[in-house]
Structure 1
Amino acid sequence: MTILVTGGDGHIGWPTALRIATRTDDRVILVDNFARREWVEEVGSVSGVPITSIDERIEAAEEVHGITNLSFVEGDLVEKAFVDELLAVHEPDTIVHTAAQPSAPYSQINGERANYTQHNNMQATRNLLWGLEEHDLTDTHFIETTTTGVYGAPEFPIPEGGATMENQGEADEVPFPAMAGSWYHLTKSHDAANLRLANSQFDIPISDVRTAITYGTGTEETEADPRLATRFDFDYYFGVVAHRFAAQAVAGYPMTVYGKGEQRKPFIAMEDAVEGLAELALIDPDDRPDDHVVYNQVTRAISIVEVAETIADVAGEFDLDVDVKHYENPRDEDETHKMEIENDRYADLIDGQDTTFEEGVRSILGTLVEYDDRITAHEDRFLPGVLTDDED
């Protein structure tokens, strides 16, 4: 058996691959082109937690965890010839597709980056799906991390999967309408539609894992040795809100809540996100569904102001004195939206495992205080509008 993890150098891809590799003797192959490192450098930032090269990571995985079934292939999934060779040579039984340009703010900078994001993300997914069809690999379980952002902010509970639509006394289940609010999130809306189509046309078993805001500096596996650390972005463009707030707390910088901050967003701890992906990747082929299945990879919805206040409270345990300040919101969003989202299917997948937000924050701050100099040196990247030489 062979499991392919795309985006294997990334924030979620690397710890997911590690967990899978510790639980199976099957071959686990990482694929990446290191673009995430380049994007963050482009906006003038760094990973708050230092990360080593992929070769050092794999060497450390064997030394620390005894992992001998992990290997790496460098390449760009946008290039069809590379994807064709990858699939022909390795014939994966499972693909965990975490590779993407993941930042909504980055995709919103200008038309060039919007175009790049949409081409990069959707072309990679299409190449993989069509590659499976063209290489007679349609039994391969295709697992993609899309995003809960495809749902937008509807005023009703979000289902885990399709929605029932009624018209003139007739009813049917239809895909949830794409209400994404950025050029990045629309790539995942299109991916979700293409995943459904690939299942319908090619009979590829699909798991569409709609990932919430994922927070954390690592997992049990990555925290065993500094060489195994996964990246932690904290800048405006690539740092999710919980990471940016935590870094601001460590730097002694006021936490920047945009607007009222009462809008609730879906969150999940990295530990819980990685667990679900590993469970899906390792499911017995005889037990996995042949259909298209949607999982809302979320454990709770939290308001932005609650995120800031929780970080401020926990920061006191580390002798950090932080303020929560409200700024004009640069985004067009309902600042009081109370999101409700179903997650029963995903909760069953991780057997009810649920890291509390406070526990996650405590772990993040405990790690970041070791690298406070690294963060304070880039504190000008907390806010938008600062780019490097190619600013336009």
Structure 2
Amino acid sequence: MSILITGADGYIGWPTALRIASRTTDRVILVDNFGRREWVGEVGSTSAIPVASMAERLEAAEEVHGLSNLSFVEGDLTDRSFVDELLQVHEPHTVVHTAAQPSAPYSQINGERANFTQHNNMQATRNLAWGLHENDLSDTHLIETTTTGVYGAPEFPIPEGGATMEHGGERDEVPFPAMAGSWYHLTKSHDAANLRLAHEQFDLPVSDVRTAITYGTETAETAADDRLATRFDFDYYFGVVAHRFAAQAVAGYPITVYGKGEQRKPFVALEDAVEGLARLALGDPADRPADHVVYNQVTRPISIVEMGTTIAEVAAEFDLGTEVEHFENPRDEDETHKMEMENERYLELIDGQSVTFEEGIRDVLATLTEHADTIAAHEDRFLPGVLEDRLASDDEQAETGGTPDDEAEVEAE
């Protein structure tokens, strides 16, 4: 018996793998192609927290937690033959699919990266769905982390699943319409539709876990040894807004809120995200869904300005002098949008919220102050302009056969 975890080198994938492995005797197969490390290096940034090699991570997991049931396979899920071989050899009863190019800003840089993001993310998910079907594994529970970003920002409460539509006097339950605002978010909208079809055509049990903005640096498992740490990105492209604000505080920057900042965004702590995925993966087989089930993996919505103010207040506890400053909003968005999102199914799964935003940020700042030099060395990555100029230069050099001046720096990171 085995459990397959894709994207197992990633921010959520790695701590999820540790939690699952610590609660089962099943073989836990980790899969990754180390794409996240490459993409972050490509934009000239790095994880604030040093990330050990996979070999070091597995060694530490066995030494510290006694986890001898972890195995790693390096490979690309867009390669259908690799996916077929992976499934044929290991025959997983559960797949936790966290692999993706996860950055909306990265997908917006240019057409090349938009195309890459869409091909990478959707091809991987299709390969898994078809691979399970064609290798007689249609009873395997496929759990995918998608994103709450598929919903956009409607003016009505967002359901946890489908919506009721009425037209011409008739009513029916329909999938929530894709209202994504980036080429990345649209990949997850397409994934949701494809997995719904895979369930209908293949009878494949699917849990579509729509992950909110995730904050935090560690879980109980990763905190036990530096070699077990998960990554922490803080740059404009791969650092979520809460992490970027926290890094700005450590670097002595003001916390940059665009416009009024009263619009609310959905958030979830890393601990709560990992716990939900582990419970879905390890639930009693008799209780596993035989359906396509949507979970809104969010514990609460927080306004951007409230988030920034909270980070500034917690930063003061660490003698970090920072404050919220408002800047003209370069985005076309409702700066007062009061997002409401149903999440009862997910809260029931994790037995309620366990880590508040303030607690999570306190842990984040405690960790980041230990790595302030790394943040200071990359503080020009907080804003997009420098990176876009750099990437354009790199692309031009690549087309002409030249070498960018800072290639060695990126490789070293």
- Distance between the aligned counterparts of 1:314 and 1:253, measured in 2? 15
1:338-349 matches, within 5 Å, as 338-349=338-349
Counterpart for residue 11 of structure 1: 11
User: Post-superposition shift, 1:285?
Assistant: 1.3
The residue type equivalent to 1:363 in the other structure is: D
Counterpart for residue 406 of structure 2: none
3-state SS of the aligned residue for 1:52? Answer: coil
2:86 is the alignment partner of 1:86: yes
Larger mean CA deviation between 352-361 and 180-189 belongs to 352-361
Larger mean CA deviation between 331-340 and 120-129 belongs to 331-340
Counterpart for residue 363 of structure 1: 363
User: Post-superposition shift, 1:171?
Assistant: 1.1
The residue type equivalent to 1:368 in the other structure is: L
Counterpart for residue 181 of structure 2: 181
Deviations 1:92-139 (A, max 9, x none): 100000000000000000000000000000000000000011101000
Counterpart for residue 249 of structure 1: 249
- Distance between the aligned counterparts of 1:209 and 1:272, measured in 2? 12
- Distance between the aligned counterparts of 1:117 and 1:168, measured in 2? 39
The residue type equivalent to 1:243 in the other structure is: H
- Distance between the aligned counterparts of 1:319 and 1:168, measured in 2? 62
1:133-144 matches, within 5 Å, as 133-144=133-144
2:350 is the alignment partner of 1:377: no
Counterpart for residue 54 of structure 2: 54
Deviations 1:324-363 (A, max 9, x none): 1122223222111110000000000001133111000000
RMSD: 0.9
- Distance between the aligned counterparts of 1:229 and 1:355, measured in 2? 18
Counterpart for residue 386 of structure 1: 386
- Distance between the aligned counterparts of 1:385 and 1:139, measured in 2? 48
The residue type equivalent to 1:176 in the other structure is: F
User: Post-superposition shift, 1:168?
Assistant: 1.9
2:319 is the alignment partner of 1:319: yes
- Distance between the aligned counterparts of 1:268 and 1:342, measured in 2? 14
- Distance between the aligned counterparts of 1:353 and 1:149, measured in 2? 21
The residue type equivalent to 2:74 in the other structure is: E
Counterpart for residue 273 of structure 2: 273
Counterpart for residue 337 of structure 1: 337
Larger mean CA deviation between 138-147 and 379-388 belongs to 379-388
Q: State whether residues 299 and 353 of structure 2, in contact with CA within 8 Å, keep that contact through their aligned partners in structure 1.
A: no
Q: State whether residues 58 and 70 of structure 2, in contact with CA within 8 Å, keep that contact through their aligned partners in structure 1.
A: yes
2:222 is the alignment partner of 1:218: no
TM-score with structure 2 setting the length: 0.94
- Distance between the aligned counterparts of 2:330 and 2:89, measured in 1? 47
Q: State whether residues 6 and 99 of structure 1, in contact with CA within 8 Å, keep that contact through their aligned partners in structure 2.
A: yes
1:22-41 matches, within 5 Å, as 22-41=22-41
- Distance between the aligned counterparts of 2:328 and 2:108, measured in 1? 18
- Which consecutive aligned stretches of 4+ in structure 1 deviate over 3 angstroms post-superposition? none
Deviations 1:54-100 (A, max 9, x none): 01001000001111101100000001111011011111100000000
2:151 is the alignment partner of 1:147: no
Identity %: 80
- Distance between the aligned counterparts of 2:293 and 2:32, measured in 1? 26
Counterpart for residue 130 of structure 1: 130
Q: State whether residues 52 and 228 of structure 2, in contact with CA within 8 Å, keep that contact through their aligned partners in structure 1.
A: yes
User: Post-superposition shift, 1:391?
Assistant: 5.0
2:21 is the alignment partner of 1:21: yes
Q: State whether residues 257 and 327 of structure 2, in contact with CA within 8 Å, keep that contact through their aligned partners in structure 1.
A: yes
Deviations 1:124-161 (A, max 9, x none): 00000000111010000000000000000000000000
Counterpart for residue 286 of structure 1: 286
- Give the paired residue count: 392
- Distance between the aligned counterparts of 1:325 and 1:56, measured in 2? 41
3-state SS of the aligned residue for 1:189? Answer: helix
The residue type equivalent to 2:56 in the other structure is: E
Deviations 1:223-282 (A, max 9, x none): 111000000000000000000000000010111111211110000000000000000000
For structure 2, the 5+ residue unaligned runs are 397-413
2:196 is the alignment partner of 1:196: yes
- Distance between the aligned counterparts of 2:255 and 2:43, measured in 1? 20
Q: State whether residues 43 and 386 of structure 1, in contact with CA within 8 Å, keep that contact through their aligned partners in structure 2.
A: no
User: Post-superposition shift, 1:302?
Assistant: 0.3
- Distance between the aligned counterparts of 1:391 and 1:302, measured in 2? 38
User: Post-superposition shift, 1:173?
Assistant: 0.5
- Distance between the aligned counterparts of 2:86 and 2:386, measured in 1? 38
The residue type equivalent to 2:156 in the other structure is: F
- Distance between the aligned counterparts of 2:364 and 2:336, measured in 1? 27
The residue type equivalent to 2:225 in the other structure is: D
3-state SS of the aligned residue for 2:302? Answer: strand
Larger mean CA deviation between 166-175 and 66-75 belongs to 166-175
For structure 1, the 5+ residue unaligned runs are none
TM-score with structure 1 setting the length: 0.99
Q: State whether residues 143 and 209 of structure 2, in contact with CA within 8 Å, keep that contact through their aligned partners in structure 1.
A: yes
- Distance between the aligned counterparts of 2:55 and 2:230, measured in 1? 14
